[in-house]
Structure 1
Amino acid sequence: MPNPEPNPHRSKNKPSTSSSRPPPVRPPVRSRVPLKQLLRVASVASGIQFGWALQLSLLTPYVQQLGIPHQWASIIWLCGPVSGLFVQPLVGLLSDRCQSRFGRRRPFILVGAASIVVAVVIIGYAADIGGLLGDDITGSYRPFAIIVFVIGFWILDVANNVTQGPCRALLADLTCNDARRTRVANAYFSLFMAIGNILGYATGAYSGWYKIFTFTLTPACSISCANLKSAFFLDVAFIAVTTYLSLVSAHEVPLSSSGAVHAGEGTGSAEEAFMWELFGTFKYFSFPIWIVLSVTALTWIGWFPFILFDTDWMGREIYGGDPNGGLIYDTGVRMGALGLLLNSVVLGVTSLLMERLCRKRGAGFVWGISNILMTICFLAMLVLTYVANSIGYVGKGLPPPTGIVVAAIAIFTILGFPLAITYSVPYALISTHIEPLGLGQGLSMGVLNLAIVVPQVPSQKQILPN
């Protein structure tokens, strides 16, 4: 693994050797930002992740209740890699050169957060809108509700990508290329992701929200649907509070008032400069950058199926339930949400200890150990699935043995450690290695996101219907 501390003298002016390459975007010079301010800025991650936790724990079962077959549900989730492939790198580049008086990153964070609010409202009311458009609300297949849901879901994924990239880039801007403070800032971000996960999974695991938000229960929206809708209302309030706290805590110096050189000046066209900076900068990457990108890509080949079908795996393989069959599957999904809640607790604790671990052992070593542990846990899931099917209770309406359930929850919990490392260390490494090249932090976050989403496409293909 690469050393997390890049040589500040290595290749710093290399990009300028090509006369056809536009000048790099230089961030405004700023004073040292207190860690308390970094903590407040990172708080927006909890609002974003609250919605993600609801999305990951509840939406796969929900789409199958709308009538989408299990195999085709994965196509809906394909919007994540697709939107991440294009949206986050483009947003990163645009934010690098944004000249708004409110700063470079905050306008994108605000627009992304507002889009998340719109998306979750659309998703929550998909069944009601489908009923108004002509769906049979007593049937098991609701085509109009599915269409509305898919529209809202894609908006949500695009909005998440619009928001998260500038959030991490803003933290990188505020740390001024200090490797230690960059790790601390990303650990804060990971900590708030854990907090958002804990609150989101706890919200998703509670089945009585419809009793509090009684207006959510309608003829077209059953109890499980009403619980999802109620949870999204809580998400709207939470993301509004955390976004406000983050935006007012970050004091950005507008790029236009900093004397910075803007990419694209004197190069013919903004579009040409845009495409050059997105693809042309790859040839300037050092070997450690390629190592970070390669390991990230391989890591996410494993993470993506787990994140996509974790609670569904618990409901189907451990509890032996049918998504259209009622109580057993729903119980499994709730136990999966409990496992993810414990996973988030471990994620949060690891985030608090991350800087100390990286300082003592090195960021690369910690990242490598976490990936080995991740692999062991995924292999354990395969073994547990085999054991559950061998016992013979699956598909017979019988509850699973307590030992099987405890083992599954334990695996979910242990995976919180490597997940915390995955959420922070690669971002800190790529940020500190790319900064000496004179490239914007928005671009660096976009490039790392490419390494995350590109391998998700072949892994997604393995679960698409034939």
Structure 2
Amino acid sequence: RLVDTDGDFSHIVQRKTRMQLVLLSAAVCGIEFCYAAETAFVSPILLKIGVPVVYMTLVWCLSPVLGFFLVPVFGSISDRCSSKFGRRRPFIVMLSIGIIIGLILVPNGERFGRLLGDVYATPSNTTSGFDDATNITTNVTTPPPPTMAPWIQRPHPLSILFTVIGVVLLDFSCDACQSPCRTYLLDVSTPEDHAVGLGTFTVMAGFGGSLGYIMGGINWSSTTFGESLGGHVKVVFTLVLLIHIVCVVMTITAIKEVPLDKLGVGEAHLQHKKVKHDNKKYRRFSNEEDDDEVPDYGAVKTEQNVSDTPHLPLPSEVSLKHYLKTIIHMPRALRILCVTNLFCWMSLVCYSLYFTDFVGQAVFGGSPSAAPGTEQHALYEEGVRIGSLAMSLYSASCSCYSLSLEKLISRFGARPVYVISQLIYTFGATMMVFLPRPVAVFVLSPCAGVMYATLFTMPYLLVAHYHSSQHFGDDDESESQSNMVSEVRGLGTDVAVVSSMVFVAQFLLSSCMGSIVQSLGTTKAVMGAAAMLSACGALCATKVVYLGL
């Protein structure tokens, strides 16, 4: 039994129940509620406080730049975190605080700006249709209508500052918080539970996203509750804030983590032992006494008394600087997985950030710049609402497909499941380009849910498989010829590196998609790009190292 003077840790090596896995995944459900509110309302909020549309994509670029550099560093530090609360939970709490601050600042940035001196004149006419009660657009490149009242276009620097800070905090923290949440689940569950656990994680993500989009479509302003809180947007963000707090508390109290010093692998007492498997060179933080033992990649093992674990001094080469180098100098198998994940995320970002604008313009023939009250403006607003409802189906299909992923992998293997899932999304995006009809939007949107479920499950299942197998494929030996320095790889670092591809994808898409749409003169370019990028991801997935999974 795993016992220690501070408590009993035998629960770590026990198989987890479905309810335990649900509780461990509850935090990502709250994160997806936040995502739904963010993608639905951030763009119109920024437009209404006077942010020029030409700078809108730059706002969306700030978070991925921060995330690309900081998330892998957070993962590396969490692998070495010596907090008595564990290695992952302190980071979940820290990033959740960032989410909470963002959820407060985004809908209240204008109010804070007014309190500190920003002056808003009373509008002389209607304000473009971006009202709190009806707007649910997710487009980040929509220009303000030409009839927008002059008071909206006046500079309000403090309101803009508070809101932009909130947007960056919210977007970055939501993306970054997923890595420690996912690693926490992998750490406290057995390898046999990883497939079910990651599937549950994805189901909870789809469930939260689906309810979040539906909640954003309700006209809260017509209710007494909405009037008391100050309008539709404030109701949505308040509810999302409360839901997120409850979900995070459920997760961090679900299962007690084993502190690093109780594992016998603390920074001051890390056992330096090269774990060989098929003559491979990559080391992990481990505490094995026998090379034939089941791998633990930082987890406690059965029949281990952590208080009796021998401690050996940490070698000088295993420094934080050396450890961070493993983020750049990674095994070839991990590089291929990162490239595959990058293409997958780029294709999905096309959908998640620009889909409602595609439906409003390409499917319904509306125009976001049309004057309020005109037919084109009404068509665009109707398309935005239909697009948001379709996105709730995409989140729901993500949950449903996740339930079958484990059985599909067991039946057909990971390679065909990974490749075909991306080709399904390629087919759906292509058909929407050539059949821009409302029915097609509803029928084909679930294809994006298949991609989302795949993104949330397959890369991390493979990373966990690499670590539990103690090596990264047949090419590791050839790499060791050019680099004789052994690597120390942590699960948290590798999960964070793979997750950071979402930041690269969002940065690249936010930087160029507006120009692509403008040059081609149609928002069909969005779904065309999604189809091509997904096809590239499927091609890369054929080169991924699966190690018999």
State the AA in 1 paired with 2:229: T
Unaligned runs of 5+ in 1: 1-26, 218-225, 386-403
**Aligned partners of 1:210 and 1:94: how far apart in 2?**
47
Q: 1:241 to 1:450 in 2, by over 3 A?
A: closer
| Aligned equivalent of 1:414, options 447, 454, 461 | 447
- Tell me, in whole angstroms, the C-alpha distance in 1 between the residues paired with 2:222 and 2:166: 21
**Which amino acid counterpart does residue 204 of structure 1 have in structure 2?**
G
**In terms of mean alpha carbon deviation, does 166-175 or 33-42 score higher?**
33-42
Q: Name the counterpart of 2:342.
A: 297
2:326 to 280, 283, 292: 280
In the TM superposition, 1:182-197 aligns within 5 A as: 182-197=194-209
State the alpha-carbon separation in 2 of the partners of residues 457 and 114 from structure 1: 24
Distance 1:323 1:173, change over 3 A: farther
- What is the percentage of aligned positions where both structures have the same residue? 25
- Residue-by-residue CA offset, 1:158-204 (whole Å, 9 max, x unaligned): 3223421110111111234x2x5222111111001011111110111
Deviations 1:188-222 (A, max 9, x none): 110010111111101111122463232333xxxxx
Q: Which residue number corresponds to residue 31 of structure 1?
A: 13
**Alignment partners' CA distance in 2, 1:86 and 1:238:** 29
Within 5 Å, which residues of 2 pair with 1:42-441? 42-132=25-115, 133-137=117-121, 138=123, 139-141=151-153, 142-144=155-157, 145-176=159-190, 178=191, 180-209=192-221, 211=223, 212-217=225-230, 226-262=231-267, 273-280=319-326, 282-283=328-329, 285=331, 287-319=332-364, 320-322=366-368, 325-326=371-372, 328=378, 329-384=380-435, 404-435=437-468, 436=470, 439-441=489-491
Residues 377-408 of structure 1 deviation map (CA, whole Å, 9 limit, x = unaligned): 222333346xxxxxxxxxxxxxxxxxx22222
Unaligned runs of 5+ in 2: 1-8, 124-150, 271-312, 472-487, 519-549
CA distance in 1 between counterparts of 2:427 and 2:96 reads: 36
Contact 1:343 1:412 in 2 (8 A): yes
Distance 1:310 1:135, change over 3 A: farther
Which residue of the partner structure matches residue 502 of structure 2? 452
Aligned residue number for residue 17 of structure 1: none
Return the structure number with greater helix share: 1
Distance 1:243 1:164, change over 3 A: same
- C-alpha deviation, 1:409, in angstroms: 2.7
Say whether the 8 Å CA contact 1:112–1:159 is kept in structure 2: yes
**Alignment-mate amino acid for residue 236 of structure 2:** A
CA change 1:315–1:128 in 2 (3 A) is farther
Question: Is the 2:206–2:396 Cα contact (8 Å) retained in structure 1?
Answer: yes
Query: Deviation of residue 84 (structure 1)?
Result: 2.0
Of stretches 180-189 and 66-75 in structure 1, the one that deviates more from structure 2 is: 66-75
Q: Is 358-367 or 44-53 further displaced after alignment? A: 358-367
Distance 1:45 1:85, change over 3 A: same
Q: Do the aligned residues in 1 keep the contact of 2:16 with 2:189 (CA within 8 Å)?
A: no
**Counterpart secondary structure, 1:279:** helix
Instruction: Read off the aligned partner of 1:34 and give its amino acid letter.
Output: K
**Counterpart amino acid of residue 345 in structure 2:** W
What TM-score results when the alignment is normalised by the length of structure 2? 0.69
CA contact (8 A) 1:431 1:444 kept: no
Change (3 A) 1:45 1:409: same
Bigger RCO (CA 8 Å, 6+ sep): 1
Give 1:354 shift.
Answer: 1.4
What SS does structure 1 have at the residue aligned with 2:205? helix
- Three-state SS of the structure 1 residue aligned to 2:350 is helix
**1:75: Cα distance to partner?**
1.4
Query: How many pairs were matched up?
Result: 409
Structure 1 counterpart SS, 2:152:
coil
CA 1:335 to 1:379, structure 2 compared with 1: closer, same or farther past 3 Å?
A: same
Deviates more, 1:125-134 or 1:38-47: 125-134
Cα separation, 2, equivalents of 1:28 and 1:275: 34
Counterpart selection for 2:511 from 441, 458, 461: 461
Q: Indicate the SS of the match to 1:260.
A: coil
Secondary structure of 1:251's partner? coil
Match of 2:280 in 1: none
Which residue in 2 is equivalent to 1:220? none
- Contact 1:347 1:420 survives alignment (8 Å): yes
Judge conservation of contact 1:95–1:442 (CA < 8 Å) in 2.
yes
Change (3 A) 1:48 1:331: same
CA contact (8 A) 1:71 1:464 kept: no
Q: What's the offset of the Cα at 1:417?
A: 1.5
Query: Retained in 1: the 8 A contact 2:399–2:453?
Result: yes
Q: What displacement does 1:235 show?
A: 0.7
Query: Quick check: 2:28–2:204 contact (8 Å CA) kept in 1?
Result: yes
- Once the two structures are TM-superposed, the CA of residue 49 in structure 1 deviates from its matched residue by 0.7
Measure the CA separation in 1 of the matches of 2:330 and 2:46. Answer: 44
Query: CA contact under 8 A between 2:344 and 2:451: conserved in structure 1?
Result: no
Alpha-carbon offset, residue 99 of structure 1: 0.9
- In 1: Cα distance, 2:235 partner to 2:55 partner: 26
Q: 1:267: how far off?
A: 6.0
